[in-house]
């Protein structure tokens, strides 16, 4: 276990370093003079000079990379080209709405996905199984923004049950009604993929020799199902959480549709404005989160079923 964990942490570290390198390389990849390219919409010499100074573009690449890398350890990610605010301040301000959304989504995801998967597996071939399987097949990979618009049209505009966006809401938790539609949209994809895996794993486990053996030992059906079959069915699901990290970023689109002032909205705005320091900071933050979640999920999968070593 510890050897696997150590190797896995090492690989995660390399991944984060690679993203740092990639994020830094973004500026180098800009065609021509980076400062001129970034000032594209406003080619005023003063603007160009300001960008050059803020990003230290008059220094050689190696110096800049070293500065940037050491800056990371001092939690200094530079300043925004647009607003001039420190990037860390921008990230800190946008963190709360995104974390709120992600935490609730994660808390709901596992019980719902596992529950639906187990339910379908226990009723294999029946109407309930058919309904759950059809829904999870068809809803997987539906673009979030389109699903969101359809749901808004039905539940906010037609029925008037829920607010259409989070515009004018000071705190998400103060008015939980604004969270309902974003959460449904955010959860649609991961629930589909994970519940299918739980279903498949559960059916396989229920038909296996060890479950038959447990039955022969005289254990109760409930005990066999939930204490013996289920943990084995969960291992591939845990691994899948680590593979489909897309849903973490599905938040970007969801935030954009429901006008939630979180990290996703900051990322979309920064990309539109070519605010490179902010993009770099966000990329690093998202990469670190992704790697951390992957790591946790892989370790859980390994703990549940040590034979499935996920990364060689």
Partner 1 sequence: MNAPPSPSHLSSGQAARPPRPGPVRDVVAVVLVAVPLGLALLGPLVAGAAPERTQPFLPDAGWLGSDFVGRDVWRQVLLGGWSIIATALCATVLAYLVGAPIGLAAAMTRRRWVDEALLRPLDILLALPSLLLMLLLASIAPPTAWTVVGIVALINLPDVARIVRAGALEVARRTSVEAMWLQGESRVAIAVVFIGRAVLRTLAADAGVRVVGAFYLVAAASFLGVGTGPDTSDWAVMVDVNRDGIFLTPWGVLVPAMLLVALSMGLNLLFDRLLSRRRHEEHTL
> Of 144, 163, 187, 260, which one interacts with partner 1 (CB under 8 A)?
144
User: Cβ(15)–Cβ(23) under 8 Å?
Assistant: no
82 binds partner 1 (CB under 8 A): no
Q: Nearest-CA neighbor of 40 among 279, 275, 210? A: 275
Nearer to partner 1, 209 or 218 (CB): 209
Smallest distance from partner 1 to CB 207, Å: 4
> H/E/C letters for each residue in 35-49?
HHHHCCCCCCHHHHH
Smallest distance from partner 1 to CB 244, Å: 8
Residues 35-67 as b/e (b if ≥16 CB within 10 A, e otherwise) read: bbbbbeeeeeeebbeebbebbebeeeeeebbee
> Of 4, 65, 140, 155, which one interacts with partner 1 (CB under 8 A)?
140
**CB-CB neighbours of 254 under 10 Å:** 27
The region of 60-68, 70-78, 170-178, 239-247 touching partner 1 under the rule CB under 8 A is 239-247
Q: Which of residues 25-64 bind partner 1 (CB under 8 A)?
A: 26, 29-30
The region of 55-63, 104-112, 121-129, 209-217 touching partner 1 under the rule CB under 8 A is 121-129
164 binds partner 1 (CB under 8 A): yes
Nearer to partner 1, 172 or 233 (CB): 233
Q: Which of residues 246-285 bind partner 1 (CB under 8 A)?
A: 246, 248-250, 252-253, 256-257, 267-268, 270-272, 274, 276, 279, 283
Tokens for 161, please give them.
């049950």
> Of 8, 238, 294, 302, which one interacts with partner 1 (CB under 8 A)?
294
Q: Which of residues 199-238 bind partner 1 (CB under 8 A)?
A: 199-201, 203-204, 206-207, 236
Contacts of 305 (CB under 8 A, 6+ apart): 231, 232, 235
> Of 147, 166, 181, 185, which one interacts with partner 1 (CB under 8 A)?
147
The CA distance from 192 to 127, in Å, is: 17
In the numeric block, the tokens 């400062």 are attached to: 35
The CA distance from 278 to 92, in Å, is: 12
The CA distance from 19 to 143, in Å, is: 26
Nearer to partner 1, 291 or 299 (CB): 291
**CB-CB neighbours of 161 under 10 Å:** 11
The CA distance from 102 to 183, in Å, is: 9
> Of 8, 19, 211, 224, which one interacts with partner 1 (CB under 8 A)?
19
> Of 79, 80, 232, 240, which one interacts with partner 1 (CB under 8 A)?
240
- Give the total of residues touching partner 1 (CB under 8 A): 75
Angle at 13 between CA 7 and CA 15, to 5 degrees: 105
User: Cβ(191)–Cβ(136) under 8 Å?
Assistant: yes
The region of 45-53, 64-72, 108-116, 137-145 touching partner 1 under the rule CB under 8 A is 137-145
98 binds partner 1 (CB under 8 A): no
Smallest distance from partner 1 to CB 66, Å: 22
Smallest distance from partner 1 to CB 173, Å: 25
């Amino acid at each position: 276990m510890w050897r696997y964990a150590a190797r896995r942490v090492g690989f995660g570290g390399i991944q984060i370093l690679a993203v740092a390198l990639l994020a830094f390389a973004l500026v180098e990849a800009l065609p021509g003079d980076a400062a001129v390219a970034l000032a594209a919409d406003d080619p005023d010499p003063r603007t160009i000079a300001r960008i050059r100074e803020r990003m230290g573009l008059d220094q050689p690449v190696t110096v800049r990379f070293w500065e940037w890398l050491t800056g990371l350890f001092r939690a200094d990610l530079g300043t925004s080209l647009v607003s001039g605010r420190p990037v860390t301040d921008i990230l800190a301000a946008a963190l709360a709405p995104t974390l709120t959304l992600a935490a609730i989504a994660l808390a709901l995801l596992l019980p719902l996905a596992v529950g639906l998967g187990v339910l379908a597996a226990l009723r294999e071939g029946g109407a309930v199984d058919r309904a759950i399987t059809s829904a999870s097949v068809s809803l997987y990979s539906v673009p979030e923004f389109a699903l969101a618009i359809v749901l808004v049209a039905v539940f906010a505009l037609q029925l008037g049950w829920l607010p259409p966006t989070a515009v004018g809401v000071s705190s998400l938790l103060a008015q939980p009604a604004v969270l309902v539609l974003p959460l449904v949209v955010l959860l649609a994809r991961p629930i589909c993929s994970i519940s299918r895996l739980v279903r498949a794993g559960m059916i396989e486990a229920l038909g296996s020799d060890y479950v038959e053996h447990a039955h022969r030992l005289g254990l109760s059906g409930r005990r066999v199902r939930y204490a013996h079959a289920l943990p084995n069915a969960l291992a591939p699901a845990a691994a899948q959480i680590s593979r489909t990290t897309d849903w973490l970023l599905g938040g970007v689109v969801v935030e954009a549709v429901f006008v939630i002032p979180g990290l996703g909205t900051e990322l979309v705005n920064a990309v539109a404005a070519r605010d490179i320091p902010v993009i770099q900071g966000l990329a690093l933050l998202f990469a670190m989160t992704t790697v951390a979640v992957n790591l946790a999920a892989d370790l859980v999968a390994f703990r549940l079923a040590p034979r499935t070593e996920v990364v060689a």
